[in-house]
């Protein structure tokens, strides 16, 4: 970069997605939305910013995402707004705002949207990242859990990964269930407080469950003997989880039970899951999700259970790169390149290219007055299958030379036969 001026630098933690990479992003998000659509999940787009309170109440005041990572700013009208750090709370807000829960249930929605989190960037972690996800809202049926999990799992497979599925149930918000367990856990942690890492000791009060996420060696050692949530959850949650597991068996999705899996967003209840994959540097998850049966009520809405997931596009691509597998050789959209020699032919090239485009054929042509050799080179660079040459001879006769760039066959056809000649 020749300039030290900031305007020639994308903000910290952000990046441009340029060709040819951008084709892969495009391809993956389309694959995701298509896959989700075939399961009945309709696309939704929510605003990139929301009232700050939505995330404080939805995601949770104790969560790291809300306390440390939000892009929060006042607008000129004095509102406190926040760039969307995660996808579920906004979707739930939209459902409640428009009364979709009064229509047919479950409401099934899918999105591909940017998320924003103020974090120190590193491999697989940027301040703006694209997530694809789906939400099934309004049903507590464990088969919905299975449907959602299978859907995300299948998409990752179709994308070219071999995702490792970790599964857990964290029960529901009640003294008979998770709250009861948290008391037991807190007691255990108090007993072992001196052995914990200091960061984890501080979290004792606010969110003892997160202690399971700690990577501090001392803490991990302590947690090996900690009581497990799965042994304390209520009968109804236990039953629900058993049915999820058995439904996943039915549809042939392999999973590993991970009783220590606790995810970072406070709204999760019952089923939680995460996909692990190699090649992400110090990150390990390409995505995850879970039930959020209390979210609607936390926002002031009616009881409305739901479950969803989010998957990071950049992390999927990183994982694919580390496998050395490009899911697809994205077929270039340019099918025909029109080579023109001379001013008159240049104008004819514009017209021919546009005629082809109007007929649905990808076409391009030279705008830099290149030599014929240069244009032929540009033609192969464009990925076109055919070069259509308009030279003096052709212009005089009203014909065009159509060259197949793969076989190198070339034939001369009338101008109005070009379209037929390049249709394969």
Partner RNA sequence: GCGGCCGUAGCUCAGCCUGGUAGAGCACCCGGUUGUGGUCCGGGAUGUCGCGGGUUCAAGUCCCGUCGGUCGCCCCA
Chain residues 331-360 in contact with RNA, contact rule CB under 7 A: 341
- As measured in angstroms, the least distance from the Cβ of 77 to RNA is 28
The piece of 1-9, 134-142, 166-174, 294-302 that touches RNA (CB under 7 A) is 1-9
Question: Applying CB under 7 A, does 379 fall inside the site for RNA?
Answer: yes
Strand-pair partners of 49: 83
The piece of 150-158, 165-173, 293-301, 363-371 that touches RNA (CB under 7 A) is 363-371
- As measured in angstroms, the least distance from the Cβ of 44 to RNA is 18
Distance, C-alpha 345 to centroid of its chain: 46
- As measured in angstroms, the least distance from the Cβ of 168 to RNA is 13
- As measured in angstroms, the least distance from the Cβ of 27 to RNA is 18
Residue pair 373/393 in contact by the 8 Å Cβ criterion:
no
Please report, as residue ranges, which positions from 292 to 331 form the binding site for RNA (by CB under 7 A): 310-312, 314-315
- As measured in angstroms, the least distance from the Cβ of 138 to RNA is 22
Which residue number, 117 or 335, has a Cβ lying nearer to RNA?
Answer: 117
Residue pair 306/295 in contact by the 8 Å Cβ criterion:
yes
> Is residue 280 classed exposed, middle or buried when 0-12, 13-18 and 19+ CB atoms within 10 A define those classes?
buried
Please report, as residue ranges, which positions from 135 to 194 form the binding site for RNA (by CB under 7 A): none
For tokens 């597991």, the residue is: 245
Which residue number, 100 or 275, has a Cβ lying nearer to RNA?
Answer: 275
**DSSP tag of 122:** B
Question: Applying CB under 7 A, does 9 fall inside the site for RNA?
Answer: yes
Please report, as residue ranges, which positions from 186 to 245 form the binding site for RNA (by CB under 7 A): 199, 210, 213-216
Which residue from 48, 119, 174, 258 is in contact with RNA, where contact means CB under 7 A?
A: 119
Cis ω before 106 (30° cut-off from 0): yes
The piece of 30-38, 260-268, 295-303, 347-355 that touches RNA (CB under 7 A) is 260-268
> Is residue 74 classed exposed, middle or buried when 0-12, 13-18 and 19+ CB atoms within 10 A define those classes?
exposed
Which residue from 405, 415, 418, 422 is in contact with RNA, where contact means CB under 7 A?
A: 405
Which residue number, 131 or 296, has a Cβ lying nearer to RNA?
Answer: 131
Question: Applying CB under 7 A, does 65 fall inside the site for RNA?
Answer: yes
Which residue number, 170 or 341, has a Cβ lying nearer to RNA?
Answer: 341
* Alpha-carbon dihedral 402, 405, 408, 413, rounded to 10 degrees: -10
Which residue number, 229 or 389, has a Cβ lying nearer to RNA?
Answer: 389
Question: Applying CB under 7 A, does 282 fall inside the site for RNA?
Answer: yes
3-state SS assignment for residue 388: strand
Question: Applying CB under 7 A, does 120 fall inside the site for RNA?
Answer: yes
**Alpha carbon distance 181, 198 (integer Å):** 23
Question: Applying CB under 7 A, does 132 fall inside the site for RNA?
Answer: no
β pairing state of 128-137 and 107-116: antiparallel
Alpha helix stretches (DSSP H) within 9-112: 21-37, 52-58, 64-68, 88-97
- As measured in angstroms, the least distance from the Cβ of 76 to RNA is 26
Which residue from 286, 334, 349, 352 is in contact with RNA, where contact means CB under 7 A?
A: 286
**How many CB atoms neighbour CB 258 within 10 A?**
17
Q: How far is CA 266 from CA 61, 73, 143, 290, in A?
A: 8, 23, 23, 11
Question: Applying CB under 7 A, does 84 fall inside the site for RNA?
Answer: no
Which residue from 134, 156, 285, 307 is in contact with RNA, where contact means CB under 7 A?
A: 285
Strand-pair partners of 311: 132, 287
- As measured in angstroms, the least distance from the Cβ of 88 to RNA is 9
Which residue from 27, 164, 238, 370 is in contact with RNA, where contact means CB under 7 A?
A: 370
Which residue from 160, 264, 301, 332 is in contact with RNA, where contact means CB under 7 A?
A: 264
How does 176-185 read in b/e, with b if 16+ C-beta sit within 10 Å? ebbeebbeeb
Which residue number, 213 or 243, has a Cβ lying nearer to RNA?
Answer: 213
Least Cα distance to 150 among 327, 317, 307 occurs for 307
Long-range Cβ contacts of 17-23 (<8 Å, 24+ apart): 20/330, 21/317, 23/330
Question: Applying CB under 7 A, does 410 fall inside the site for RNA?
Answer: yes
């Amino acid at each position: 970069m020749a300039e030290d001026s900031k305007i020639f630098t994308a903000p910290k933690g952000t990046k441009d997605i340029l060709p040819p990479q951008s084709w892969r992003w495009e391809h993956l998000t389309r694959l995701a939305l298509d896959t989700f659509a075939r399961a009945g999940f309709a696309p939704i787009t929510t605003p990139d910013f929301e009232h700050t309170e939505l995330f404080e109440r939805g995601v949770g005041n104790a969560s790291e995402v809300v306390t440390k990572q939000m892009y929060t700013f006042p607008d000129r009208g004095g509102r406190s707004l926040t760039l969307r750090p995660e996808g579920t709370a906004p979707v739930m807000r939209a459902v409640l705002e428009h009364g979709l829960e009064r229509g047919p249930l479950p409401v099934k929605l899918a999105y591909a949207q940017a998320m924003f989190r103020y974090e120190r960037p590193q491999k697989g972690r940027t301040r703006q990242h694209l997530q694809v996800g789906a939400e099934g809202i309004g049903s507590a049926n464990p088969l919905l859990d299975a449907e959602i999990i299978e859907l995300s799992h299948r998409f990752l497979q179709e994308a070219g990964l071999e995702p490792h599925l970790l599964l857990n149930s964290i029960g529901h918000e009640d003294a008979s269930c998770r709250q009861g367990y948290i008391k037991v856990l807190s007691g255990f942690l108090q007993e072992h407080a001196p052995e914990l890492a200091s960061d984890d000791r501080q979290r004792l009060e606010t969110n003892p469950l997160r202690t399971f996420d700690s990577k501090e060696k001392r803490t991990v050692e302590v947690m090996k003997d900690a009581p497990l949530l799965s042994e304390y959850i209520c009968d109804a949650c236990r039953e629900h989880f058993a049915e999820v597991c058995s439904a996943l068996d039915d549809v042939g999705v392999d999973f590993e039970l991970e009783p220590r899996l606790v995810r970072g967003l406070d709204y999760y209840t019952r089923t939680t899951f995460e996909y692990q994959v190699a090649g992400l540097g110090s990150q390990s998850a390409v995505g995850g999700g879970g039930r959020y049966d209390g979210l609607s009520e936390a926002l002031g809405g009616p009881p409305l259970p739901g479950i969803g997931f989010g998957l990071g596009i950049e992390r999927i691509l990183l994982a694919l790169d580390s496998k050395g597998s490009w899911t697809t050789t994205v077929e270039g959209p340019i099918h025909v390149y029109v080579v023109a020699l001379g001013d008159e032919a240049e104008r004819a090239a514009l017209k021919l290219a546009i005629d082809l485009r109007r007929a649905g054929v990808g076409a391009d042509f030279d705008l830099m007055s290149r030599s014929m050799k240069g244009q032929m080179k540009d033609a192969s660079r464009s990925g076109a299958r055919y070069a259509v040459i308009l030279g003096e001879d052709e212009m005089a006769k009203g014909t065009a030379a159509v060259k197949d760039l793969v076989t190198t066959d070339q034939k001369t056809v009338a101008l109005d036969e070009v379209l037929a000649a390049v249709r394969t």
